[in-house]
Amino acid sequence: MSEKFQKMYYAEQPDAAHDLHQLETVLLGQKMSFLTDAGVFSKKAIDFGSQLLLNALDFAENATVLDVGCGYGPLGLTLAKAQGVVPTLVDVNLRALDLAQKNAERNGLTAEIFQSNLYAEIVGQFDHIISNPPIRAGKDVVHGVISGALAHLNQGGTLTIVIQKKQGAPSAKKKMAEVFGHCEVIKKDKGYLILQSVKEMTE
């Protein structure tokens, strides 16, 4: 493993020196408190793409939601607090997962949080899968988020991701259309696209 990779947020065990930071913010009308650190994605603020994704989602209370590449938990935990979903958070980054667990506790939330390389450790199906995929991990990883989702969605369930147009949105949209038969751009702003596909009901 290269030294550069070890420092990246998509590494299993980032070796960047710890730099703990407390982030207080409001997401979907909820006051949220996050502990962040070096070696995780977007440690100093909730990135624009994640905020755009959250604002595009409207899930039913008690819907089951899988957050793939959850980082320190801003997506899944915010949806749990604001919309009452039942969240499962997974990531390959052990440092991020430790933070996500702490952040669930900080915000008075219960979530299933564990390590999984994409869907490797995922059992069962969900009403919704969401992801702000790790673009820097490469196209294969981003497309893995998409291709693996279908098997883990309930009928009528959705996959929703955020991706910048210049960082592969057209390719991701094409991949989602291949896997699901269709893909819709449900929101876009400042070069970011929110892409959504639905697992169609079968007869």
Question: CB under 8 Å to 196, separation ≥6 — which residues?
Answer: 56, 158, 159, 160, 183, 184, 186
| Structure confidence at residue 44 (pLDDT) | 86
Which pTM does this prediction carry?
A: 0.94
Instruction: Report pLDDT digits (tens) over 51-64.
Output: 999 999 999 999 99
Domain membership of residue 162 (yes or no) is: yes
Report the pLDDT value the prediction gives residue 2, as an integer from 0 to 100: 40
Answer whether residue 102 is part of any domain. yes
pLDDT beneath 50, residues of the chain: 1-6
Alpha-carbon span 188 to 177, nearest angstrom: 18
In CATH, what number is assigned to the domain containing residue 62?
3.40.50.150
Dump pLDDT digits (tens) for 82-97: 999 999 999 999 999 9
Range of the domain at 139: 3-198
163 found inside a domain: yes
Q: Count how many Cα atoms sit within 13 Å of the Cα of residue 172 in the half-sphere of its side chain.
A: 32
Task: Produce one character per residue of 76-107: b if its CB has 16 or more CB atoms within 10 Å, e if not.
Answer: bbbbbbbbebbbbbbbbbebbbebbbebbebb
The answer to the question of residue 203 being in a domain is no
Structural domain count of the chain: 1
Encoded tokens for 180: 């699901």
Q: Which of 120, 111, 104 is nearest to 33 (CA)?
A: 104
Confirm if 20 and 36 have CB atoms less than 8 A apart.
yes
Give pLDDT, residue 202.
66
Q: Please, are residues 60 and 128 in contact by the beta-carbon 8 Å criterion? A: no
Has residue 157 been placed in a domain? yes
